[in-house]
Structure 1
Amino acid sequence: MKILYGVQATGNGHITRARAMLPALLQHGIDVDFLFSGRPKQQLFDMDMFGAYHWANGFTFATANGKVKKLTTITQLRPMQFYRDVRQLDLTSYDLVLTDFEPVSAWAAKRQGKLSVGLARQYALRFPLAEKQSATWLKMAVSGFAPAKLMLGVHWQPEFPGLLPPLLVPATQPERSPDNISGQSAFILVYLPFEQLSSVINWLKQCPSWQFKLYANVQALRTEDNVTILPLSRSRFPTDLQHCSGVICNSGFGLCSEALIAGKKLLIKPLQGQIEQAYNTYTLLKMGKAEQLNQFIPELLSNWLNRPPAAPYPMPNPSMAIARWLKQGCVTPVEQLAASIWQSQ
């Protein structure tokens, strides 16, 4: 079997799912080509495992100071380029298209009559998550942006037939690092890529008795008082996630999932105007697994820092079951596949 795996690269969560799925696909003898879109190619990093991947412009959203900028997003759209990319993508050599909410591969599959499977958090938004009813327009928007014949949504709770656990790269038990030599977690991990960096740093400085590791789009490591600012890294970030005593981040599904499983307390600042993060925030608050931050208020940070640690929230890894399901031709109903994965925990 040979598949094309389309990945929406706007956020790192989609790429994390692809990193988790690739070993399982290869283990089942599936030949995989990748297509990434939604982010300038030069901004992708640590992509060696994906080989000679394809890239397309696709669609993304513009942000500034923690908000989606709707007008800027609209003006940056390139519909004719998208149309050309869809028409030029030849799927003749592929048995199936797997799309993580990537629109070029999804629409090419629809246009060419190729079997397509959607595997993404966004496909879960068709369900009434945490008792919050999904709007009709949202269901249509999800299906319209990256259509797929079969849709596999991912979620944190097993109560919804057809939704699977998160796909994450398995974490290894960390060894003691130099800044964790006593065996006690000594810092808070921070990743707020949609916020103004200086605002985040100034906010963290208001709690000088705590140490923070802040990952950001910088070229080199530097330190400002109690804040260490580090360049983005797929090798170091997971290690720091395992060592930290808490995570401050936007409410993207991937990182929040990693923090839940690792047992890290969460302080989340949803990206305003981004519907998925609004649903993620609502669900996490309903589950009692996070506290919400809307503004950089020092008192809120101080109160959260002094909260007790969180307990791990284990979930089964669905990657091998999904790969086997794909290899067998996707004949098992999605609801049955999801139920079997959750029951394997």
Structure 2
Amino acid sequence: MKILYGIQGTGNGHISKAETIYPILKKYADVDILISASNYSLKPSFPVKYKKKGISFSVTRGQINYWLTLKNLDLKTFLIDINSISFDKYDLVVSDFEPITSWGAKKYGIKSLQISHQAAFNSMKSPRPFIINPFAELIIKYFAPTNEYIGLHFKKYSDNISNPIIKKSILNLKTTDESHITIYLPFEDDETLIDIFSKIQNHTFHVFKPNIVKEYSNKNIIFKSVSTQKFDKSLASCHGVICNAGFETPSEALFLGKRLIVVPVKKQYEQECNAVALKKIGVTVIKKLNRKSLDLINEWLMIKPIKMTFKSNFEDYLVRKISKIVNKVNCKLH
């Protein structure tokens, strides 16, 4: 069996997740990888056959600008990218919210499976804010459509939803509490972070930013470059985590039993949905990080953290799902 695995290259979360999914797929099939968009800082350890422009969301001051995204959409290059790939040599397309492979599979009649957090929103049982954004819902639904899907979420809200995929490096971590706070808020400027967290003097703050070339300190704040090993080490030994309301980092913090604050990126609908789900679990949500947040942060430093045990049967679930598809296309897994 031959699989084309498409990975969304906006942010580090999809690349990180692929480090777990790729070895599973490789055990049962020949796998080629495509990454579209290039807004990631992690270096993949797996071989990448295709690198394409794809479709990137336009971000203005940390906010997804849907209208600017549409305005900057290079449909001609997108279609050229689809036509440049020999889809007929693949038995299955697996997509992590990646549009070239998803739409290519649809065009050429190849069976397709999406494995992503975004796929969880195919179920209306996944938590959403009180006011639903119909435009954002349409984008999530049709950005990378597939025949089948496995949605990933903090809880199993419906049958086609699985627990978060926790990478091996996190599964094997031994946790301690060395009193520092691990922060990943890439869209907040350094001055804002210094202004707020320098007021909390009984803790050190490890701030990870993609634009940091050389580590430096300012008062009780250490600014660090983004690296999986450095971040995992800080995460394992931290007193708590403050990050945006994405999916991978909050999942890892909850799995490790670290107290967690999420700051959803404004006008990022997926993060607004995640914030609703996390708040129901008991996670502290701050809508806007500023000096007014200090009292809430100080209270949070004293609360008991939440620990979630995510079942580690994803490989079995994935193989069963693919086996059903394999039977329909008359090909065999390794």
Q: 1:65 and 1:305 mapped to 2: Cα distance? A: 27
2:127 is matched with which residue: 124, 127, 130? 130
Structure-2 residue corresponding to 1:25: 25
2:207 corresponding residue in structure 1: 214
C-alpha deviation, 1:201, in angstroms: 2.8
The aligned residue for residue 90 of structure 2 is 94
User: Does residue 312 of the first structure (1) align with residue 311 of the second (2)?
Assistant: no
CA contact (8 A) 1:125 1:138 kept: no
Question: Is the aligned partner of 1:143 residue 2:138?
Answer: no
What secondary structure sits across from 1:215 in the alignment?
Answer: strand
Deviation, 1:293, is: 3.7
Shift of 1:109: 0.5
Greater relative CO (CA pairs within 8 A, separation 6+): 1
Identity %: 27
| Alpha-carbon contact 2:182-2:205 (below 8 Å) kept | yes
User: By how many angstroms is 1:130 displaced?
Assistant: 3.5
Post-superposition CA distance 1:30-61 (Å, at most 9, x none): 22211111325xx54321x2113321111122
Shift of 1:203: 2.0
Assess if the C-alpha contact under 8 Å between 2:116 and 2:151 holds in 1: yes
57, 70, 95: which one aligns with 1:61? 57
Give the CA deviation at 1:98.
0.3
Q: Relative to structure 1, is the Cα distance of residues 145 and 299 closer, same or farther in structure 2, using a 3 angstrom cutoff?
A: same
CA contact (8 A) 1:97 1:105 kept: yes
In the TM superposition, residue 228 of structure 1 has moved relative to its aligned partner by 0.8
Aligned to 1:291: 285
Whole-Å Cα distance in 1 between the matches of residues 4 and 96 of structure 2?
11
Cα displacement string for residues 299-341 of structure 1 (whole angstroms, at most 9, x for unaligned residues): 2454244332313101112431244225524379xxxxxxxxx
Shift of residue 173 of structure 1?
Answer: 4.5
Gaps of at least 5 residues in structure 2 are: 328-334
Q: Which moved more, 1:84-93 or 1:225-234?
A: 84-93
Give the drift of 1:70.
Answer: 4.1
Shift of 1:67: 2.2
For the Cα contact (< 8 Å) 1:89–1:105, is it kept in 2? no
Q: Does 1:240 align with 2:239?
A: no
Q: Deviations over 1:69-95 (max 9, x none)?
A: 345434432221112111222212211
Structure 1 portions without partners, runs of 5+? 177-182, 333-345
TM-score by length of 1: 0.85
Q: TM-score, normalised by structure 2?
A: 0.88
Q: Which amino acid aligns with 2:190?
A: L
Deviation of 1:114 (Å):
0.4
Q: Aligned residue pairs: how many? A: 323
2:188 counterpart of 1:190: no
Aligned to 1:266, the other structure's residue is in SS state strand
**Equivalent residue for 1:6?**
6
Quote the residue 2:102 is aligned against: 106
| Distance (whole Å) between structure 1 residues aligned to residue 9 and residue 166 of structure 2 | 16
Letter in 2 for 1:330: I
Q: Does 1:303 align with 2:301?
A: no
C-alpha contact (below 8 Å) 1:46/1:234 kept by paired residues: no
* Structural RMSD (CA): 2.5
Does the CA-based 8 Å contact 2:128-2:273 persist in structure 1?
Answer: no
Aligned equivalents of 2:167, 2:93: Cα separation in 1: 22
Q: Distance in 2 between matches of 1:187 and 1:147?
A: 42
Given the superposition, is the C-alpha separation of residues 11 and 328 from structure 1 closer, same or farther in structure 2, using an over 3 Å criterion?
same
CA offsets per residue over residues 120-178 of structure 1, 9 Å max, x none?
Answer: 111111223237687765554333110100011111222422211111203244468xx
Q: Shift of the alpha carbon at 1:113?
A: 0.4
